[in-house]
Structures are given as C-alpha cells and as structure tokens.
Amino acid sequence: MKTVYLAIGSNLGNRRQNVLGAAAVMQKTKGINIKKMSKLYETEPWGYKDQPKFINAAVLAETVLAPTQLFLILKGIEKKLGRKPQKIKWGPRKIDIDILLYGDKAVETNRLRIPHPEMHRRLFVLKPLAEIAPGVTHPVLKKTIKELLKKLEPRINTGQHRCNSRL
C-alpha cells in the first residue's frame, strides 16, 4: 500500500456536493482507501480569474494502484461526475482531482507529474493539505507541507487569494 495525497476542487454546480461526491466515489473504488479528508475551503480562482470561487479539499488515501493506474481511474471518476473537456486553461470545472504526492516518489510522464508541479505555489492546495499532513515532506523540494505553506502565506495578496474554511 502506498500513501497518496489528492486535491479535489469544484467551482460549478453544487460545489460542496461535487467535492464530497468525488470523495465518496473514490472510497467505493477498488484500490483506493480514503483515510482522512480536510475541511472544505472556499477559494479564489487561480490562473484564470474570471470564474466562480472554488470549493477545495485535500485527501489522504492508501492505494495499491501504480501512479499511472491511479491517474487514469481518477480521470474516469471526473468524467463520471460530469467533468467536460477544458476550453480555458485553469477554467471552470465541475470537478477536478489531482494527485499531489504518491509516497515519496517523483514521477514524470507525458500526462502525469508527481509531485504536482504547482502545488507549492497554490494556497488552495497547501492550506487543506497542511491540515491533514503538515509534517509530510515534499520529495523534491525537501520541505514539509507546513514549511511550504508558511513560505507561501506572506507572499499572498489576501484580497486575491483568500482560502476560507467552510466546515
């Protein structure tokens, strides 16, 4: 079993239900066992700003699936839950599930990069992840999630990058 950390987000439809529904589907999926989930956070959009706010959460899970298998299953869950192909990079979406960390592995293929290449720059990822895994070390940057969050927070313009707990 490998420990994995996932990010779930939604900014279309019933955002809260989309995130919780994705976690429920993952929990019912063979090879994925959710151990812990952060609170839900309402966050400002990142990248493309002209869109609704997101609801985001982080999940700690165990899996027997290889990274590529897990990725394909998560993409299948997104499609099953109504995710449509993106017209705008970082645009609105009903559901988004990303693999943040897969044990202490670094993986790079044409379609998959682990650790997630932008996670250390994103408050909406680090804040919920720090809630459930503050002491976990980023395998490439060699800093804990808590350290990455602490380094990021002073540089955030709070008017543009709020990350408010919803639960």
Residues with a known catalytic role: 83, 93, 96, 98
Of the candidates 76, 54, 74, the residue with the CA atom closest to the CA atom of residue 122: 54
Q: Give, in order, the Cα–Cα distances in Å from 67 to each of 47, 85, 122, 157.
A: 26, 22, 22, 34
36 forms bridges with which residues in the sheet? 60
Burial of 31 (0-12, 13-18, 19+ CB in 10 A): middle
User: How many CB atoms neighbour CB 161 within 10 A?
Assistant: 18
